[in-house]
């Protein structure tokens, strides 16, 4: 992985130069104000972080480096990790070198399997993924080097080592979790002739169809990163900013991803679609669907897969999945219902309670589950694990770059109600 390391080193130098220029133009310039509403409202819209792996434009969606979702959705996840962490796609040689390195590190230690097999049978797969990673924390190269007395300028290099060890093991770990939790517990062997996503598809043992392997590739590409302020990425960065190593930081990020308003929404989406199928069959009438959606909203529940804290258009990742569905499983009943929801839900949310929903359009989760279901991956409790495998690429790249840029521990200031009231009184 020499080329990857060199690519990151060069990227850090480029980014540092940009930051030096920004500081020269005005380190104390004001770029954003904080309202009382934002202090009490999850800091929504507050510009308070720099993240150079990816950027979410409210109207055109996810960019990795300069590339739009459309421009990178046909790549391999390995190429995406390279792009996230170096700002460039790898050439053929660098890609092969990186994949070889992953191959060498892919084996999950036996003690991790022992931990996972000792859990109650109904443990959520996201708990297993988070715990599986945390169980390997003792292997952290960063931690060992830090104890010996590591220079700050070298933090990122050993964090990269940890990242490689974690990423390499993810396909085996995730597939093993699936087989322990939902199958007979027998694991399928890693195949060093396959790439990262190909191995995941192979070791799950659900389907040998080429379409399924391509769906895994697309799934792992589309979920890789979504800038720095989302719950999981931000959590991971906060934890790593205390120099807790990447095993702690990745596990923490995954715990955030496991919430139903974030990554778990994808399992909720398929549950929702299957419920609609049970109630109204394969091809529900639009009026019936409309009435049902209103009932769900009026009962105080959210429509999973719709809305977003940043996006204000249909998520291009949703569009990429829909394109895949049209080409591979246009007649699947879940896909058809997901498509029909797309034609009904935005209009309802747009007008619901005087437009209180800021974004009525579908996000990535509204379509992904239907595609997995089509290939026989029916255990929707597992879906967020796939999201997690992909998102770990973003956690790793964000943390490596932040350490490379010498970013300090994160510690924003909180205030009491009294402080806010006093502020009003002062003015």
In the stretch 219-238, what mask flags binding to ligand CMX with x, by CB under 6 A?
-------x---x--------
Is 365 catalytic? The answer is yes
User: Sign of dihedral through CA atoms 228, 229, 231, 236?
Assistant: positive
In the stretch 297-336, what mask flags binding to ligand CMX with x, by CB under 6 A?
x----xxxxxxxx---------------------------
Pair of tokens at residue 117: 């097999």
In the stretch 29-48, what mask flags binding to ligand CMX with x, by CB under 6 A?
---------------x----
> How many residues are recorded in the chain?
427
User: What SS3 class is residue 258?
Assistant: coil
Whose Cβ is closer to ligand CMX: residue 194's or residue 302's? 302
Pair of tokens at residue 154: 């070298």
Least distance CB 230 / ligand CMX (angstroms): 6
Residue count at the site for ligand CMX (CB under 6 A)?
Answer: 22
Among 221, 265, 274, 371, binds ligand CMX (CB under 6 A): 265
The DSSP code sequence of 57-119 is ETTTEEEETTEEHHHHTTS-HHHHHHHHHHSS---HHHHHHHHHHHHHT-PPPHHHHHHHHTS
| C-alpha to C-alpha distance for 365 and 54, rounded to whole angstroms | 19
The residue at minimum Cβ distance from ligand CMX is 307
User: 400-427 as b/e, with b when 16 or more CB fall inside 10 Å?
Assistant: bbbbbeebeeeeeeeeeeeeeeeeeeee
Contact status: 147 vs ligand CMX (CB under 6 A): no
Please, is 146 exposed, middle or buried when counting C-beta atoms within 10 Å of its C-beta (0-12, 13-18, 19+)?
A: middle
Of 202, 223, 262, 373, the catalytic one is 262
Is 308 catalytic? The answer is yes
In the stretch 363-382, what mask flags binding to ligand CMX with x, by CB under 6 A?
x-x-----------------
Of 11, 223, 226, 308, the catalytic one is 308
User: Sign of dihedral through CA atoms 323, 327, 330, 334?
Assistant: negative
Is 262 catalytic? The answer is yes
| C-alpha to C-alpha distance for 298 and 348, rounded to whole angstroms | 12
Whose Cβ is closer to ligand CMX: residue 180's or residue 233's? 233
Least distance CB 280 / ligand CMX (angstroms): 19
Among 358, 378, 381, 410, binds ligand CMX (CB under 6 A): 358
| C-alpha to C-alpha distance for 243 and 146, rounded to whole angstroms | 9
Are 182 and 124 a contacting pair, CB within 8 Å? no
Among 75, 262, 333, 391, binds ligand CMX (CB under 6 A): 262
The DSSP code sequence of 209-230 is -HHHHHHHHHHHHHTS---S-S
Among 80, 116, 126, 357, binds ligand CMX (CB under 6 A): 357
Q: Which stretch binds ligand CMX (CB under 6 A): 143-151, 262-270, 274-282, 284-292?
A: 262-270
Contact status: 354 vs ligand CMX (CB under 6 A): no
Strand partners, 63: 55, 68
Contact status: 391 vs ligand CMX (CB under 6 A): no
Least distance CB 97 / ligand CMX (angstroms): 32
Least distance CB 269 / ligand CMX (angstroms): 7
| C-alpha to C-alpha distance for 159 and 153, rounded to whole angstroms | 12
Q: Which residues bind ligand CMX (CB under 6 A)?
A: 44, 226, 230, 261-263, 265, 297, 302-309, 356-359, 363, 365
* Residues designated as active site: 262, 308, 365
């Amino acid at each position: 992985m020499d080329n990857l390391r060199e690519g990151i080193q060069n990227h850090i130098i480029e980014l540092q130069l940009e930051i030096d220029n920004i500081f020269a133009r005005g380190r104390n310039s004001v770029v954003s104000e904080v309202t009382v509403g934002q202090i009490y409202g999850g800091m929504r819209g507050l510009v308070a972080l720099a993240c150079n792996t990816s950027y979410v434009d409210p109207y055109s969606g996810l960019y990795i480096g300069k590339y739009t979702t459309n421009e990178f959705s046909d790549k391999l996840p390995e190429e995406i990790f390279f792009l996230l962490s170096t700002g460039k796609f790898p050439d053929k040689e660098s890609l092969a070198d990186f994949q070889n390195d992953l191959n060498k590190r892919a084996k999950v230690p036996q003690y991790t399997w022992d931990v996972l097999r000792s859990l109650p049978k109904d443990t959520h797969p996201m708990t297993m993924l988070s715990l599986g990673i945390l169980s390997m924390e003792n292997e952290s190269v960063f931690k060992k080097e830090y104890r010996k007395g590591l220079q700050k300028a070298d933090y990122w290099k050993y964090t990269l080592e940890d990242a490689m060890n974690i990423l390499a093991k993810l396909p085996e770990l995730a597939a093993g979790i699936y087989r322990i939790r939902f199958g007979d517990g027998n694991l399928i062997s890693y195949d060093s002739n396959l790439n990262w996503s190909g191995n995941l598809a192979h070791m799950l043992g659900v389907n040998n169809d080429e379409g399924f392997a391509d769906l895994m590739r697309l799934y792992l590409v589309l979920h890789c990163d979504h800038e720095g302020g989302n719950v999981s990425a931000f959590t991971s960065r906060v934890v790593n900013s205390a120099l807790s190593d990447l095993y702690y930081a990745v596990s923490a990020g995954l715990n955030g991803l496991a919430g139903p308003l974030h990554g778990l929404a994808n399992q909720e989406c398929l549950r929702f679609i299957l419920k609609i199928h049970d109630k109204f069959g394969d091809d529900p009438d639009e009026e019936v669907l409309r009435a049902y959606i209103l009932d769900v909203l009026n009962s105080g529940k959210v429509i999973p897969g719709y809305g977003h804290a940043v996006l204000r258009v249909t998520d291009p990742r949703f569009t990429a999945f829909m394109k895949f569905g049209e080409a591979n499983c246009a007649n699947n009943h879940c896909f058809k219902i997901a498509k029909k929801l797309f034609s009904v839900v935005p209009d309802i949310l747009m007008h619901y309670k005087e437009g209180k929903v800021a974004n009525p359009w579908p996000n990535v989760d509204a379509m992904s589950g239907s595609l997995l279901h089509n290939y026989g991956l029916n255990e929707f409790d597992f879906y967020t694990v796939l999201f997690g495998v992909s998102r770990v690429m973003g956690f790793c790249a964000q943390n490596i770059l932040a350490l490379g840029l010498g970013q300090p521990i994160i510690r924003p200031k909180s205030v009491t109600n009294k402080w806010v009231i006093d502020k009003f009184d002062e003015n």
